[in-house]
Structure 1
Amino acid sequence: MEFWMQENSFTTKTEFGDLQISGNADHGFRPYQLLVSSVAVCSGGVLRKVMEKRRQTVKDIYIKADVKRSEQGANEVQEIHLHFIIDTENVTNTQMKKNLEWTRKNCSMVQSVKDSIHITETFELKNNS
């Protein structure tokens, strides 16, 4: 990836268009938002693949990410809690716990930050028949 300095941000070109990144939310995505988004969406994508491989129906996955940042120093991300609401059929809590265990082990973003950011997951099953 390549990044170009702008007046109030940095820009990178992607196949989906330009991405503006700035420490100021008025001028682009904030770096911590991209970090949290990467962890959440990687986890969601891996979870979907795990469930599909296990022949479990996945109608929808909603992810809520809560972030705790340091109040001192660099204001670094210390904790990310991911809460998954999964619209599925015939999946037990035990199966979903195993799905999330495999998701954690196979999500490259979680594995990249696991020694510096505490990541936790919870879930709810929706319309589970």
Structure 2
Amino acid sequence: MKFTMTENGFSGDLPFGALNVSTNEELGFRPYQLMVASLAICSAGIVRKVLEKKRMPADDIQVEVKEVVRIDEEAGRIEKVHIHFVIKGDIDDSKMDRVLELTQKNCSMVRSVEDSIEVVETYELIK
């Protein structure tokens, strides 16, 4: 990856397209938003894979970041992220604790921040 300074931040020309990053969210993604999105989407992808391996494929998964706690005194460091999955399909609720356990264990983004950011994952099932 390579990023180039622009008038309002930085721009990366990535294989999928341009990624504009700025401290002003009207001009690009803010760095903390990219971090939180990485945690949420990585986790959701692992939830999807684990459900498929357990022969309970989801018809749909929505991911909502319910809470982001930042510490202003520490340069706005992210302290906690609460990720909530809304999963549609024929999913056995009794297996979901194990699904989330495997998700935390196998999500590279969550593992990368496990000693510095508390990541809480919750879910609800819709038939």
Tell me how far apart the structure 2 counterparts of residues 88 and 26 of structure 1 sit (CA, whole Å): 36
**How much identity, in percent, do the aligned residues show?**
46
Does 1:43 find its partner at 2:27? Answer: no
AA in 2 matched with 1:32: Y
Contact in 1 for aligned 2:48/2:58 (Cα 8 Å):
yes
C-alpha distance in structure 2 between counterparts of 1:103 and 1:73, whole Å: 29
Find the counterpart in structure 1 of residue 83 from structure 2: 82
Q: CA deviation at 1:94?
A: 2.0
2:78 is equivalent to residue 70 of structure 1: no
Report the counterpart of residue 14 of structure 1 in structure 2.
Answer: 14
- 2-structure distance, mates of 1:16, 1:63: 22
Secondary structure of the residue aligned to 1:35 is helix
The gaps in structure 2 that reach 5 residues or longer are: none
Unmatched runs of 5 consecutive residues or more in structure 1: none
For residues 85 and 51 of structure 1, the distance between their equivalents in structure 2, rounded to whole angstroms, comes to: 13
Which whole-Å deviations, capped at 9, do the CAs of 1:24-48 have from their partners, x for residues lacking one? 1121000000000000000000110
Say which SS state the counterpart of residue 119 (structure 1) adopts: strand
Coordinate RMSD, CA, aligned: 0.9
Deviation of residue 88 (structure 1)? 1.3
Give the Cα separation in 2 of the matches to 1:39 and 1:84: 12
**Residues 1:100 and 2:105 are matched in the alignment:** no
User: Quick one: which amino acid aligns to residue 79 of structure 1?
Assistant: K
Query: Aligned letter for 1:61?
Result: I
**Correspondences of 1:52-71 after superposition (within 5 Å):** 52-65=52-65, 66-71=67-72
**What is the TM-score of this pair, normalised by structure 1?**
0.94
Mean Cα deviation higher: 27-36 or 13-22? 13-22
Query: Aligned pairs, how many?
Result: 126
Letter in 2 for 1:99: V
In the TM superposition, what is the alpha-carbon distance from 1:55 to its structure 2 partner?
0.9
Distance 1:80 1:48 in 2: 20
Report the residue type matching 1:29 in the other structure.
Answer: F
Distance, in Å, in 2 between the alignment partners of 1:14 and 1:85 is 30
Counterparts of 1:74 and 1:58, CA distance in 2 = 39
